[in-house]
Structure 1
Amino acid sequence: MTERVLVVEDNDLNRKLFCDLLRANGFAVEPVADGVDFVERAAAFDPQLVVMDIQLPNVSGISLIEALRADARLCHVPVLAVTAYAGKGDEERIRAAGAEGYLSKPVSIHPFMSAVNALLDRRAAA
């Protein structure tokens, strides 16, 4: 079965890059440009992983992670936060909201794919 990754990223170039990388590595991908109807879209896609930008228009990625954690259908899905927030305490705050992985932008290909695979491997082992 092909693993499914939901990519929440408002920047068109970043979203395309993440989706293209994931597809090239055999993943089914659902791109999302904003947080509107995020929980319902995530539930309909049933992802094994969510790649979440934190700085989104109209809603914080942290709020979306918290909504994911509060939904019984999705609370088990690991989240990789990918963000320009790289200040002191940001990673801790993002992880406290429920993100299992954290990468600061700009993101290189190898660390991104390593983080994706590590979270999926950890989920499969659980």
Structure 2
Amino acid sequence: MAGADTLPEPDDNSEERKSSSATSAATVEPQPQPTELPTPNRVVLVLEDDLVQLRLLQQHLESLGLTLLTARSIAEAQQHLSENRPQLAIFDVNLPDGSGLELCEQLDSDPRHCTMPIIVLSSMTGNDMIRKTRASGGCYFVGKPYDPNVLLILIERALGESLQ
């Protein structure tokens, strides 16, 4: 039991260890606590002429913390694009004043918007719609009716971040 109350014999390095740990402890300054940085404003342009579809998209995307610019015609979308730089666009194909795919082509050749990812969301689900979407400059095609979870995954990929 004698060994239980005795301290270990100091070795040659024990003073050195005490000295270095005292120095370390003395020079350690409290680190600032990480603060939550504000999420950058993620603006999405939604071009959809069907008011019901537009409202559903709006509710879903705003619940994810996205800021929406909504347009029901190509002319409205072009107005938004002249005034803003959205990070993402979601376009319908058949619109009252033209085709969402034609707007994709225009944006693909516009230096201001050519890097903006575009998701085409349409009830036109023929076999060649994916090819047409890609040829016009769109990143993804989603057929209507669509699974909101699939759309969320594509939006996250397009924005390069998780929204949930």
CA contact (8 A) 2:42 2:87 kept: yes
Aligned-residue Cα RMSD (Å) equals 1.3
CA contact (8 A) 2:91 2:121 kept: yes
The one-letter code sitting in structure 1 at the alignment partner of 2:85 is D
Q: Which residue of 1 aligns with 2:90?
A: 51
| Structure with more relative contact order (C-alpha pairs < 8 Å, separation 6 or more) | 1
Structure 2 CA distance, aligned partners of 1:119 and 1:37? 23
TM-score by length of 1: 0.91
The one-letter code sitting in structure 2 at the alignment partner of 1:88 is N
CA contact (8 A) 1:39 1:67 kept: no
The one-letter code sitting in structure 1 at the alignment partner of 2:51 is D
Structure 2 CA distance, aligned partners of 1:29 and 1:114? 18
Matches within 5 A, 1:59-78: 59-78=98-117
Residue 110 of structure 1: how far off its partner (Å): 0.7
Residue 40 of structure 1: how far off its partner (Å): 3.7
The one-letter code sitting in structure 2 at the alignment partner of 1:75 is C
Q: Does 1:29 pair with 2:77?
A: no
Structure having the higher Rg: 2
Residue 37 of structure 1: how far off its partner (Å): 4.8
The one-letter code sitting in structure 1 at the alignment partner of 2:157 is A
The one-letter code sitting in structure 1 at the alignment partner of 2:125 is A
CA contact (8 A) 1:49 1:78 kept: yes
TM-score by length of 2: 0.71
Matches within 5 A, 1:8-23: 8-23=47-62
Q: Does 1:7 pair with 2:41?
A: no
SS of 1:51's partner is: strand
SS of 1:82's partner is: strand
CA contact (8 A) 2:133 2:140 kept: no
Structure 1 gap ranges (5+): none
SS of 1:21's partner is: helix
Q: Which residue of 1 aligns with 2:123?
A: 84
Structure 2 CA distance, aligned partners of 1:119 and 1:59? 25
Residue 53 of structure 1: how far off its partner (Å): 0.5
